[in-house]
Structures are given as structure tokens and as C-alpha cells.
Structure 1
Amino acid sequence: MSKSVTPPVLKAYQALSRRPLGKFIFSRGLCLKAPYFSSIKPLISELRPAYCEVQMSKRRAVQNHIGTVHAIAMCNMAELSGGLMTDVTIPTTHRWIPKGMTVEYLKKANTNLKAIAQPEATPDWSVAQDYWVKVEVQDTAGEIVFRARIAMWVSPKKSAG
């Protein structure tokens, strides 16, 4: 981050994650703000600038007809982890929105999953541009079962007035 201002989402995560059940409470609160993500019941297990880790349990609601975690559940993990990582990484003077995502399904997702989002590079924040995020989803053996590349459009916030 170019400024020392801590993003509000990161402040909340840091405050709650130190408490018992804090990561769980933060994750559920996030799902109240963005209800669509509640379908995967995520747990934000780590969040810091340039890094986000989201966990999801394999349960019936996220399984497909062959008993593996379905593609859209993994896409949700990717968008959630990529968006959170972007939110706590870009300067607080900027805003972002997902612009596009490409995905690869590499093997069957037969276990609980962990998504790790990181930036591909550190851009020049002085211009509006695509900010590329890579997300890898691993099974409990550490095997990558899914990979995503997300273009986040990052631009300076409009000034009030």
C-alpha cells in the first residue's frame, strides 16, 4: 500500500481475528454485507496486504452430481479471496471492481478447500488500470484443483464535490 492508512476491512479483520471465534464472526459478517458468498460458508483464515486465504468445507450444498465440490463454489471462493486481497492491498484512495475472470479446473475437488489469492505484480497506482490477481484453490493434500486469474479494475475514487 502506498499510504499508511489501514483499510477498514483489514482493521476489522485484525481486531476480530485475535479473539476467540473472531475469524468466524468476521467471515459471517462479511457474508451479511455480500450475501451471495454465504452459499459457500467461507472462513477467512488469513488476510493481509497482497495475501488472502479463504477456507471452505466440502458439504452437500457445494457438491455436484458426482460428489465433488462444484465449479461455481470454487469460482465464489476465487472472487471472494481475490476481492478481499485487492481491497486490503490497493491504496485507500482507490476503488476496485472485478472486470473478468478466467478459470482452470485441474482435478476433482474431493475434500475441504483453501483458496489463496495474491497479486501478479505491483502496479503504478497513479493510473487507472487492470490489477491482475491469481487465485489457487488447494485440497487438503495441498494439490491445486482449481486456478483463476482475475482482472480487477482499479481506479482513483471520485472526489466529493
Structure 2
Amino acid sequence: MSNNKSMLQKVYAQVDKLPAALKAKAFTVIFGRAVKYFRTSGLRFEWIEPNHSIVVIKNRKYVQNHIGTVHAVAMIMIAESATGALVGLNVPGNAVPVIKRMEVDYRKRASGDMRAEAMLTPEQITMMQTEERGEVDVAVTITDAENKEPIFVRAVWAWTPKRS
């Protein structure tokens, strides 16, 4: 990775020194300061490493739809947050990560709390760390309290150099 680290990468380097139990909590607070809707919706990181993240949301009244389950937009938000954090932790510091495309397929009624788990391959990480611009399809799985997948999401992220 270039010596030019992003603010997110610098923050991660600091929270990575914390005990595992505190690391995800600290990253949640810091990420929530940068991504306001993340904080507003009550999302939190359960796990964060540069190649693997887990974001969860509790099925609380303020994120529910009309049938009492986690709202569709909130389910997409956990997927976007889990995948976007990984991209942000791996692109060069002089690059801007942006969501390029999301494909969503609602498969069944969700039950209870939701969890998004995202992963990057070593090849994807190398590409992000060495190329000035590009795009990456980040694998993400969303499960509910019954450990079923009520929604399928495909998240494609791009990065380009920051404008001067």
C-alpha cells in the first residue's frame, strides 16, 4: 500500500492495537462519525479486519417496515457498510471509494436482527492497493435471526483518484 494512507486506514491502524472485544466497538463509533446514516440507524461492526467485516442491525422499531421486520433500506445499508468499510481499508489514501452498483433480490420475509458479512480475496486487496483506479465486486452475505438469507445483495465498488 502507498505511504499515503486514508483517514480510515490511519484510524484502523490505531483501533487494531486494541483488544478484540474493544476493536469493533471503537471502529463502530469512528465509522459512525464519518457515515451519519450508519450511526442514525444503529448499525454496528461485530468484526472488522481489512479482508473481513461483519455489520449488524437490531430489529428495533425505528428501523422496521410496516410488517415489523427490518426495513429493506436498512438491510441494504448493512450490506453497503460491510462492503464499503473493506474497500475503504484497502484503496490507496489518495483515492475515493464509491458504490458503483448494487443488485438486490428480496427472497423471503426477514426474521429478527440482521447481519451482513463481507469478504475480500487476497487478489482483490492487491488490486485495490496497487491500482490508481478500478472496481471490485465485494462478496456479502446477509442473514437474519434464523440464519437464513432473506436478501441477496451484490455490491460493486469503484475507486478513483481524489480531485485536487
TM-score w.r.t. the length of structure 1 is: 0.81
CA distance in 2, matches of 1:61, 1:148: 22
Contact 1:9 1:88 in 2 (8 A): no
2:15 aligned partner, one-letter code: Y
**Which segment drifts farther, 108-117 or 92-101?**
92-101
Gaps of 5+ in 2: none
Contact 2:4 2:94 in 1 (8 A): no
**Which segment drifts farther, 92-101 or 43-52?**
92-101
2:72 corresponds to 1:71: yes
1:136 aligned partner, one-letter code: T
2:127 corresponds to 1:126: no
1:8 maps to which residue? 10
CA distance in 1, matches of 2:145, 2:119: 20
User: Could you report, residue by residue, the CA deviation over 1:89-114 in whole angstroms, capped at 9, with x for unpaired residues?
Assistant: 33445431111211111221111111
Identity of aligned residues (%): 25
With over 3 angstroms needed to count, the CA separation of the structure-2 counterparts of 1:3 and 1:128, relative to structure 1, is: closer
Query: Which one has the bigger helix percentage?
Result: 2
Task: Give the secondary structure class of the aligned counterpart of 2:55.
Answer: strand
1:138 aligned partner, one-letter code: T
Which stretches of structure 1, 4 residues or longer, exceed 4 Å deviation after superposition?
2-6, 19-22
1:47 maps to which residue? 48
With over 3 angstroms needed to count, the CA separation of the structure-2 counterparts of 1:47 and 1:23, relative to structure 1, is: closer
Contact 1:13 1:47 in 2 (8 A): no
CA distance in 1, matches of 2:114, 2:15: 21
1:154 aligned partner, one-letter code: W
Contact 2:46 2:55 in 1 (8 A): yes
Residue 82 of structure 1 and its aligned partner are, at CA, apart by 1.1
Task: Give the secondary structure class of the aligned counterpart of 1:11.
Answer: helix
Residue 32 of structure 1 and its aligned partner are, at CA, apart by 2.1
1:117 aligned partner, one-letter code: A
TM-score w.r.t. the length of structure 2 is: 0.79
Residue 3 of structure 1 and its aligned partner are, at CA, apart by 5.7
Matched length: 157
With over 3 angstroms needed to count, the CA separation of the structure-2 counterparts of 1:14 and 1:149, relative to structure 1, is: same
CA distance in 2, matches of 1:58, 1:30: 21
- In the TM superposition, what are the counterparts of 1:9-158 in structure 2 within 5 Å? 9-16=11-18, 18=19, 23-119=24-120, 122=124, 124=127, 125-126=130-131, 128-157=133-162
Contact 1:93 1:157 in 2 (8 A): yes
Task: Give the secondary structure class of the aligned counterpart of 1:134.
Answer: strand
Residue 157 of structure 1 and its aligned partner are, at CA, apart by 4.7
